Amino acid sequence: MSIDYQEKIPNNVNLDEDRKLKRALEKWLPEYQSWWNELGPVGSQNFDVYLRTAVSVEPGGLTNFGHVKMPDYRWGIFLSPQDENRKVNFGEHKGDAAWQEVPGEYRSELRRLIVVQGDTEPASVEQQRHLGLTCPSLYDLRNLFQVNVEEGRHLWAMVYLLHGFFGRDGREEAEDMLARHSGDQDKPRLLEAFNEKTPDWLSFFMFTYFTDRDGKYQLGSLAESGFDPLARTCQFMLIEEAHHMFVGETGVQRVIKRACEMMIEHKTDDVARFGGISLELIQKYLNFHFSVSVDLFGQEVSTNAANYYTMGLKGRFMESRIDDDHILADVPYKVPEIKGNKIHMVDKTALTAVNERLRDDYIEDCQRGVDRWNKTIKSFGIDFEMTLPHRAFHRSIGVLSEICANLEGEIISQEEWDKRCDDWLPTDEEREYVKSLMEPVTEAGKIANWIAPPDKGINGQPFNFDYVRFG
């Protein structure tokens, strides 16, 4: 089924047949648009951007590319195809038919999950809104905007659920999505990583590698939900998400590659003298973004998470492919605990440890890209390895937030932390340095000095294609 772009709100949920819902969403649309104009990408109003747009939810439905005036981008509501026989696959309702309506007794928990998920989407657009002013190339500018419009669409995905299934309080929650803002003193975004600044492009690439990957794992768990409309909307979001992480992984890889080129050319580790970003400094950015993203998985032992699971609302990543009872009450799972001056791994019931399990899956996935970055470094014959810090490093949520730890996960004193943290995390001066490199390059085929060009362009186009046209 292809998507009709003549509609005011393109969709594949038969919006035409639900007058009330259609009216509610059409009322929210101008509010969303004014939010986008006010807090979306700065100065992009007249740009024509080479964007992909969903034309269907079937495989390949995202391969329609063309130049689009950004404010005229058509945000739509797209759910993956319905499976009539789908069941609840875990928890106490396991085996029941998947719900097409909100189960009344779980209404507030479900709303909470949808609100937290939805809140992150516009938050990231707000965090990234100044980056267009300092793009290293038109190719990168286009990728930034592609990510931004899709995060905007992800908000639509959650707002559709709120309007469609939660009545008046759903509409109120939808309004609040545009009222909270990243970093706002009075009305901040709900999760901490989404109140941090994304002040430069290295931060942006780290964010899309590490923080969008939290999105992949959270959406993956929600895609298992017994509430079928949530599952289906997350399934489609995951297809879009893959590109965001690609932007992050290749972005970091290109900064690494450029550093290596300078190291070889000038026979020095001190690439800052030549306007590069050193491998050591890239590692510090990695340490920061990894640790902030690891916090997003919540407490190691969580009754909230156990309840969501038992209720059938939020599963594990790839739940349906895991071979166990999908109830988890009698299955052990190892979680960290502080005993004396050591971190011990202790058994808890897997049911209360689903947050930690998701974090484990996430960390394993993070490592794969780090391995590929190390291949790049090795291909230059340079003796340096990027590493993920231990999960205990620099934490603000969960039991590990109670201690200070070094990169290896050894507990250290507050005093030691204060002395050493500048060796592990970017200092203000280093952040200023990276910022100072962020001079915009907006001529097709040109690129900033601190980053290597991509191996390929978008949709088979060359690197020197005019990915963005300035009106």
Residues that bind Fe ion (CB under 5 A): 121, 151, 154, 212, 215, 241, 244
Q: What is the distance between the alpha carbons of residues 398 and 406, in angstroms, rounded to a whole number?
A: 17
Q: What are phi and psi of 328, to 5 degrees?
A: 75, 5
**Binding partner at 137 among ligand BYC, Fe ion, none, C-beta below 5 to 8 Å by kind:** none
Query: Of 362 and 450, which has the nearer Cβ to ligand BYC?
Result: 362
Q: Is 297 in the site for ligand BYC (CB under 6 A)?
A: yes
- Pairwise CA distance, residues 447 & 464, whole Å: 10
Minimum CB distance to ligand BYC, residue 276 (Å): 27
Q: Which two tokens stand for residue 156?
A: 């639509």
Distance of alpha carbon 335 from alpha carbon 332, whole angstroms = 10
Q: Are 285 and 203 in contact (CB under 8 A)?
A: yes
User: Are 182 and 126 within 8 A, CB to CB?
Assistant: yes
Helix (H, G, I), strand (E, B) or coil at 52: strand
Q: How far is the CB of 208 from ligand BYC (least distance, A)?
A: 7
32: three-class secondary structure by DSSP: helix
**Alpha carbons 317 and 337: distance in angstroms, whole number:** 23
Q: Which is nearer to ligand BYC, 237 or 260 (CB)?
A: 237
User: Quick one: which of 53, 143, 287, 302 contacts ligand BYC (CB under 6 A)?
Assistant: 302
CB atoms within 10 A of CB 212: 23
Closest separation in Å from C-beta 200 to Fe ion: 19
d(CA 347, CA 345) in angstroms, rounded, equals: 7
Q: How far is the CB of 314 from ligand BYC (least distance, A)?
A: 6
- Residue 50 pairs in a beta bridge with 67
Sign, CA dihedral 373-137-266-277, equals: negative
The 148-177 site mask, x for binding ligand BYC (CB under 6 A), equals: ---x--------------------------
- Residue 291's binding partner among Fe ion, ligand BYC, none (Cβ under 5 to 8 angstroms by kind) is none
With CB cut-offs between 5 and 8 Å by kind, which of Fe ion, ligand BYC, none does residue 305 bind? ligand BYC
Joined tokens for residue 2 = 């292809």
Total number of residues binding ligand BYC (CB under 6 A)?
Answer: 25
Rg (the chain; Cα; Å): 23
* Calpha distance 351→327 (Å, rounded): 7
* Residue with the CB atom nearest ligand BYC in the bound state: 298
Among 12, 134, 355, 376, binds ligand BYC (CB under 6 A): 355
Give φ, ψ of 367 to 5 degrees.
Answer: -60, -35
Chain positions 176 to 205 lying near ligand BYC, rule: CB under 6 A, are 191-192
Minimum distance of ligand BYC from residue 80's CB (angstroms): 17
Closest CA to 14 of 166, 240, 229, 174: 229
Q: Which is nearer to Fe ion, 121 or 224 (CB)?
A: 121
- Closest approach of Fe ion to the CB of residue 204, in Å: 12
Backbone φ and ψ of 97, nearest 5°? -65, 140
Binding pattern to ligand BYC, positions 393-432, x when CB under 6 A?
----x-----------------------------------
Shortest Å distance, C-beta 337 to Fe ion = 33
Task: Identify whether the C-beta of residue 295 lies closer than 8 Å to the C-beta of residue 329.
Answer: no
- 319, 119 in Cβ contact below 8 A? no
Give the integer Cα–Cα distance in Å for 100 and 290: 37
Return the residue of 103, 275, 298, 445 that touches ligand BYC, per CB under 6 A.
298
End-to-end CA distance of the chain: 34
Q: Hey, which residues between 240 and 279 contact ligand BYC (CB under 6 A)? A: none
Min. distance of Cβ 401 from ligand BYC in angstroms? 10
Scan residues 115-144 and list those touching ligand BYC (CB under 6 A). 116-117, 120-121, 124
| Helix boundaries (H) for 40-79 | none
How far apart are CB 233 and Fe ion at their closest, in Å?
11
Closest CB to ligand BYC among residues 223, 272: 223
Task: Kindly indicate which of the ranges 212-220, 343-351, 366-374, 426-434 contains the residues binding ligand BYC, using the contact rule CB under 6 A.
Answer: 212-220
The residue from 137, 148, 218, 352 that contacts ligand BYC (CB under 6 A) is 218
What residue ranges bind ligand BYC (CB under 6 A)? 113, 116-117, 120-121, 124, 151, 191-192, 211-212, 214-215, 218, 295-299, 302, 304-305, 314, 355, 397
